[in-house]
Structure 1
Amino acid sequence: MTSSTGAGQGGETLADQAYRAISDRLVTLQIRPGEPISDERIATELGLGRTPVREALKRLETERLIVAYPRRGTFATEVQIADLGHISEVRQQLEPLAASVAAERATEHDRTELGQLLAQLEAGGPDGGSELIRLDMAVHRAIYATTYNPYLQDTLIKYDNLATRIWCLFIGRLPGLAGHVREHGPLLRAIIDGDPQKAAALASDHVEGFEAAIREII
């Protein structure tokens, strides 16, 4: 029997697999805000043991995606619109930094992978809201990974997750969703071309545009 800390494919542990799967459900609101979370049910759905699932839930609690109450259970956190300004304040500082650093540190392999994402955006990308959200997340994750700074990467993933939950809450009321995702094209091109100043400016504009779009409808 494989332990929860044993490495699976690509060196990923079972707890890592559980974290990614549960995080995706929480961020895209497949697990609704306030919904109770059963580690036994999730373990069964994912085909994993309860130990890696519990490890994943502990990590998700530190990222404010779930909350555990003594004798009451574990629940998905509510989406707090009041936190939008705080989240944007952090992202406004760190997203341009990540874009700039990625432009400076991208390897040829990174440029190839970013180019593949760029091709998806230039081809129009998916039409469905949930698939657009996942493409947006994939672009952000690829940029963060290209910084080769695990602390910056982990911090930005946390705040991007919180921002994306807010986005998903209003997805049916956001008319420019596809355009918001596809505007990553110039940002990816700046990183691929090794232009840190342009990449930083585009990332800053993207965060500012996201907050403005949400505030227009609340």
Structure 2
Amino acid sequence: MPKLPAPPLPKRRAADMAYDAIETLISTLQLAPGSPVVEADIVELTQLGRTPVREALLRMVSIGLIVQQPRRGLLVSHIDLADHLDVVQTRRVLECLIAACSARRATALQRKDILRCADKMVQAATRGHLVDYMAADLALDQVNHQASHNHSAVKAVVPLIVQCRRFWVAYQHEGDIMEAAQAHMDLAQGIATGDEAAAVGGATRLMDYLQGFARRVIDN
């Protein structure tokens, strides 16, 4: 019997594409904490139209990455150093759950993809290439989240990841990119082999790194 072709991937909504674009601008500090968010500028940048951009901005407001202030309009939220430790602590619980789910539920292709992404992170870290590192990091998150099939956990963790990512970019001089890359590799290997304990161990190592990183920033 001939093999049926894989069903086409669903077309992404314009609002989701706008959300991703704004998220990238915030997490890479192209939209710095405290800076104004001008709808017309985002529309011009994304070429996606006012309606999807407005929907994406409202989502950003609802999760606290953008704040709305009287007479000042929309602003990128500030990085709160003290609150960031709570962000990491909350993310730890969710990342461990997602890692365990992915180790159980990932397809063979997803297991290969997550290893490939982690290897790209290690290579980028070795070269000290931050742009490639962050691109591979984002790709790894996307595969991991899809593989987990735990939509509630993913929905809760994504805003925390963005906050951690922009915190890391802002204070990267305090971190060890190679240590972070190896933690991602431990996570990926655990998922790829279906070893839940190893996957959770990798997620734990990554959160330990982020917590230690945050403490160094705060102490300095």
TM-score of the superposed pair, with normalisation by structure 2:
0.88
Matched residue type, 2:185: G
- Give how far 1:127 is off: 2.7
- Give how far 1:33 is off: 0.5
Matched residue type, 2:115: G
Residue of structure 1 in register with 2:133 after alignment:
132
1:69 aligns with 2:69: yes
1:50 aligns with 2:50: yes
Q: How many residues align?
A: 209
Cα gap change, 1:45 to 1:186, in 2 (>3 Å):
same
- Give how far 1:215 is off: 1.1
Residue of structure 2 in register with 1:159 after alignment:
160
Conserved 8 A contact 2:37-2:74: yes
Residue of structure 1 in register with 2:146 after alignment:
145
C-alpha RMSD of matched pairs (Å): 1.8
Could you tell me how far apart the structure 1 residues matched to 2:34 and 2:56 are?
18
Q: Percent identity?
A: 27
Residues 1-218 of structure 1 correspond to what in structure 2 (within 5 A)? 10-124=10-124, 127-171=128-172, 173-218=173-218
Conserved 8 A contact 2:65-2:77: yes
- Structure 1, unpaired ranges of 5+: 1-8
Cα gap change, 1:34 to 1:62, in 2 (>3 Å):
same
Could you tell me how far apart the structure 2 residues matched to 1:24 and 1:194 are?
31
Could you tell me how far apart the structure 2 residues matched to 1:109 and 1:23 are?
27
- Give how far 1:122 is off: 4.9
Could you tell me how far apart the structure 1 residues matched to 2:80 and 2:19 are?
22
Deviations 1:69-106 (A, max 9, x none): 23321110111111122112211211111111100001
The alignment partner of 2:34 has SS state of coil
Could you tell me how far apart the structure 2 residues matched to 1:17 and 1:174 are?
32
Deviations 1:5-50 (A, max 9, x none): xxxx841111111000001101111100111011011101211211
The alignment partner of 2:58 has SS state of helix
- Structure 2, unpaired ranges of 5+: 1-8
Matched residue type, 1:31: L
TM-score of the superposed pair, with normalisation by structure 1:
0.88
Conserved 8 A contact 1:144-1:156: no
Residue of structure 1 in register with 2:6 after alignment:
none
- Give how far 1:175 is off: 4.5
Could you tell me how far apart the structure 2 residues matched to 1:124 and 1:31 are?
24
Residue of structure 1 in register with 2:4 after alignment:
none
Cα gap change, 1:179 to 1:89, in 2 (>3 Å):
closer
Deviations 1:135-177 (A, max 9, x none): 2232223212211111111111111111112111102x22412
Could you tell me how far apart the structure 2 residues matched to 1:79 and 1:217 are?
12
Cα gap change, 1:19 to 1:124, in 2 (>3 Å):
closer
- Give how far 1:119 is off: 3.4
Conserved 8 A contact 2:26-2:32: yes
Matched residue type, 1:164: R
Matched residue type, 1:107: T
Judge which range, 15-24 or 126-135, deviates more: 126-135
The alignment partner of 2:209 has SS state of helix
Conserved 8 A contact 1:29-1:169: yes
